[in-house]
């Protein structure tokens, strides 16, 4: 965890470890005592988008007059699809733990693997927790996981609790962030920055990120919602535009009212929408408004899909919009790979860096990394070509063993599959055994800071 700035000074460098740890605990306790109390009005300490919709009920109407908040924005199919796609992709990625060694890195055995990949908190699966963090970033700008430790003064972690960003307020004092969170039972708790995983989004200023609902989605989602309402009203009326009944003669006010009431009774509603009209006395029907195609209703709705996909950095074909592209081919495959490289990595980089600096502070040995191989791999033909080159052959240097390839494909290892194929001097392949690795797993020493910092 990050200690207060006052904890580090030159006079403590050569002190015994127990003395340094006691000083750090005393400084942290002092910092905790300076945290703003719950009596402080939330409006005085809140920056960015914190708790606005909790206190007021939403972000208010946009330019279309339609209120845009998290609930209404998710009613737009394009927003829902983008958020679900990004969250689902991140939730499906494994988070691997490693420890740097003299010749590279090795897998790192720790109880934290279960928290990151299976169950971070009692009522959360890892997939749903990662998806919720991505959804929070995509709608509110920031995702939050509260770190629950065994005691307040150790780095030993018992779980991560996902927190709703709409119930979070942040105050910054003396260079540190303090998180005021409204819990499920309505009580408020103040959490130090060392005990909160804060996953930032676009425009992070050290406290909060920009809210996509405010910065970009408000007008686009508002237009999409207004178009949906118009379309619903249009088809609720039997997809029949407004019209007038015209006659060459004159009618009295009483006759016009009677004609209007009679027409409404006979031809309004769902069951009467398509009944044929019987006109007498020289009456004619004249259309007054444009039809759906002339009003460009469908064009407007299609454009909103493209615009919302652009905001989230999602290729339109990945949310079902395939009008301007095909569902097959190398172009679509390259766009899908670009989605991983340029959209998902933007989320994953902030998550990975936040975990590394909060879970293993100032430790350049242990780190975590998301495995993107499952999302970046091509089709069966492309994979076969890639693995053929990786295994090596006549005149070709191999950089993977058979068992390494089988491990990626979830297959059992072969007894003689750990040999690396190397190109011989005369072009003939020569097989040499790969360097032997220790079968003893690297233990995480229960991930306590007292133990971890001794590795530095």
**Rounded Cα gap, residues 223 and 300, in angstroms:** 9
Task: Kindly give the residue spans of alpha helices, DSSP state H, lying in 74-111.
Answer: 77-91
Structure tokens given for 155: 């780095």
Q: Average the pLDDT over each of 101-110, 203-212, 293-302 and give the range with the smallest value.
A: 293-302
Neighbouring residues of 2: CB distance < 8 A, sequence distance ≥ 6: 193, 194, 357, 358, 361
Confidence of residue 128 (pLDDT cuts 50, 70, 90): very high
**Residues forming beta bridges with residue 422, ordered by sequence position:** 430
Q: Which has more confidence, 304 or 91?
A: 91
Confidence of residue 13 (pLDDT cuts 50, 70, 90): very low
What pLDDT score was predicted for residue 33? 57
Q: Which has more confidence, 258 or 151?
A: 151
Q: Which has more confidence, 276 or 143?
A: 143
What pLDDT score was predicted for residue 407? 81
What pLDDT score was predicted for residue 70? 84
**pLDDT > 70 in the chain, percent:** 62
Q: Which has more confidence, 62 or 148?
A: 148
What pLDDT score was predicted for residue 92? 92
The DSSP code for 344 is I
What pLDDT score was predicted for residue 366? 92
What pLDDT score was predicted for residue 135? 95
Q: Which has more confidence, 13 or 140?
A: 140
**Rounded Cα gap, residues 85 and 90, in angstroms:** 9
**Rounded Cα gap, residues 232 and 238, in angstroms:** 10
What pLDDT score was predicted for residue 168? 96
Q: Which has more confidence, 218 or 401?
A: 401
* Per-residue pLDDT tens over the stretch 284-338: 666 655 555 555 566 666 778 888 898 999 988 888 877 765 544 456 667 778 8
Q: Phi/psi of residue 385, each to 5°?
A: -65, -40
Q: Phi/psi of residue 411, each to 5°?
A: -110, 155
**pLDDT > 90 in the chain, percent:** 30
Confidence of residue 3 (pLDDT cuts 50, 70, 90): very low
Taking the CA atoms of residue 151, residue 153, residue 158 and residue 164 in that order, the dihedral angle to the nearest 10 degrees is: 100
Q: What is the mean pLDDT of residues 364-386?
A: 80
Q: Which of 168, 206, 177, 163 is nearest to 49 (CA)?
A: 168
SS3 (DSSP) at 441: coil
**Rounded Cα gap, residues 277 and 268, in angstroms:** 11
What pLDDT score was predicted for residue 194? 92
Q: What is the mean pLDDT of residues 407-419?
A: 83
Structure tokens given for 217: 């989605």
The DSSP code for 168 is E
**Rounded Cα gap, residues 21 and 153, in angstroms:** 10
> What is the helix, strand, coil percentage profile of the chain, to 5?
45, 20, 40
Could you tell me if residue 183 is left (phi over 0), alpha (psi between -120 and 50 degrees) or otherwise beta? beta
Task: Kindly give the residue spans of alpha helices, DSSP state H, lying in 199-314.
Answer: 212, 218-236, 253-267, 297-312
Q: Which has more confidence, 31 or 377?
A: 377
Confidence of residue 224 (pLDDT cuts 50, 70, 90): confident
**Rounded Cα gap, residues 10 and 24, in angstroms:** 14
**Rounded Cα gap, residues 160 and 95, in angstroms:** 15
Query: Half-sphere exposure (CA, 13 Å, Cβ side) for 197?
Result: 31
Q: Average the pLDDT over each of 172-186, 270-284, 438-452 and give the range with the smallest value.
A: 438-452
Cα Rg of the chain (Å, integer): 31
Q: Write down the mean pLDDT value for the chain.
A: 74
Q: Which has more confidence, 196 or 327?
A: 196
SS3 (DSSP) at 106: strand
Nearest-10 crossing angle of helices 126-140, 345-359: 110
Neighbouring residues of 234: CB distance < 8 A, sequence distance ≥ 6: 292, 297
Q: Which has more confidence, 280 or 370?
A: 370
**Rounded Cα gap, residues 451 and 180, in angstroms:** 31
What pLDDT score was predicted for residue 48? 36
What pLDDT score was predicted for residue 452? 45
What pLDDT score was predicted for residue 9? 41
Q: Is the pLDDT of residue 428 over 50?
A: no
**Rounded Cα gap, residues 420 and 346, in angstroms:** 35
Greatest mean pLDDT among 12-16, 51-55, 215-219, 258-262: 215-219
What pLDDT score was predicted for residue 298? 64
Structure tokens given for 32: 């905790």
Q: Average the pLDDT over each of 123-137, 187-201, 237-251 and give the range with the smallest value.
A: 237-251
- CA 138 and chain centroid, separation: 6
Structure tokens given for 425: 């001097």
**Residues forming beta bridges with residue 244, ordered by sequence position:** 286
The DSSP code for 49 is T
Neighbouring residues of 228: CB distance < 8 A, sequence distance ≥ 6: 75, 76, 301
What pLDDT score was predicted for residue 260? 72
- Which class for 328: exposed (0-12), middle (13-18), buried (19 or more C-beta within 10 A)? exposed
Residue indicated by tokens 């970009």? 216
Q: Is the pLDDT of residue 359 over 90?
A: yes
**Rounded Cα gap, residues 444 and 442, in angstroms:** 7
């Amino acid at each position: 965890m990050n200690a207060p700035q006052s904890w580090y000074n030159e006079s403590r460098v050569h002190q015994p470890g127990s003395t340094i740890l006691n000083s750090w605990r005393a400084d942290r306790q002092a910092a905790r005592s300076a945290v703003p109390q719950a009596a402080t009005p939330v409006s005085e300490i809140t920056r960015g988008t914190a708790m606005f919709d909790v206190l007021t009920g939403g972000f208010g109407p946009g330019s279309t007059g339609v209120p845009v908040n998290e609930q209404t924005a998710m009613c737009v199919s394009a927003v829902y699809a983008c958020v679900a796609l990004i969250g689902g992709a991140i939730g499906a990625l494994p988070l691997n733990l490693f420890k740097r060694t003299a010749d590279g890195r090795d897998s790192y055995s720790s109880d934290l693997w279960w928290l990151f990949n299976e169950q971070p908190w009692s009522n959360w699966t890892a997939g749903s927790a990662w998806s919720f963090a991505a959804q929070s970033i995509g709608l509110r700008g920031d995702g939050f996981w509260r770190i629950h430790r065994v005691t307040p003064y150790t780095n030993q972690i018992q779980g991560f609790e996902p927190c709703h960003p709409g119930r979070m307020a942040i105050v910054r004092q003396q260079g540190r962030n303090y998180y005021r969170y409204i819990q499920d039972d309505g009580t408020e708790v103040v959490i130090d920055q060392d005990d909160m995983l804060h996953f930032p989004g676009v425009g992070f200023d050290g406290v909060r990120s920009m809210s996509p609902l405010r910065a970009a989605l408000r007008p686009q989602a508002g237009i999409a919602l207004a178009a949906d309402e118009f379309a619903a009203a249009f088809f609720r009326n039997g997809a029949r535009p407004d019209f007038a009944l015209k006659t060459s003669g004159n009618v009295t006010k009483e006759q016009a009212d009677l004609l209007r009431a009679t027409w409404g009774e006979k031809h309004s509603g769902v069951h009467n929408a398509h009944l044929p009209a019987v006109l007498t006395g020289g009456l004619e029907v004249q259309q007054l408004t444009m039809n759906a195609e002339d009003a460009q209703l469908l064009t407007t709705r299609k454009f909103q899909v493209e615009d919302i996909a652009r905001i989230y950095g999602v290729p339109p074909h990945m949310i079902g919009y395939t009008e301007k592209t095909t569902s097959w081919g190398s172009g679509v495959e390259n766009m899908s790979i670009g989605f991983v490289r340029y959209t998902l990595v933007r989320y994953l980089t902030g998550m990975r860096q936040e975990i590394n600096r909060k879970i293993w502070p100032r430790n350049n040995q242990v780190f975590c990394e998301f495995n993107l191989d499952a999302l970046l791999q091509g089709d069966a033909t492309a994979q076969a070509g890639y693995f053929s080159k990786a295994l090596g052959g006549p005149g070709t240097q191999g950089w993977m063993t058979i068992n390494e390839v089988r491990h990626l494909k979830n297959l059992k290892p072969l007894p003689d599959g750990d040999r690396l194929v190397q190109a011989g001097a005369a072009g003939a392949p020569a097989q040499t055994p790969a360097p032997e690795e220790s079968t003893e797993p690297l233990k995480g020493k229960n991930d306590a800071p007292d133990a971890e910092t001794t590795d530095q």
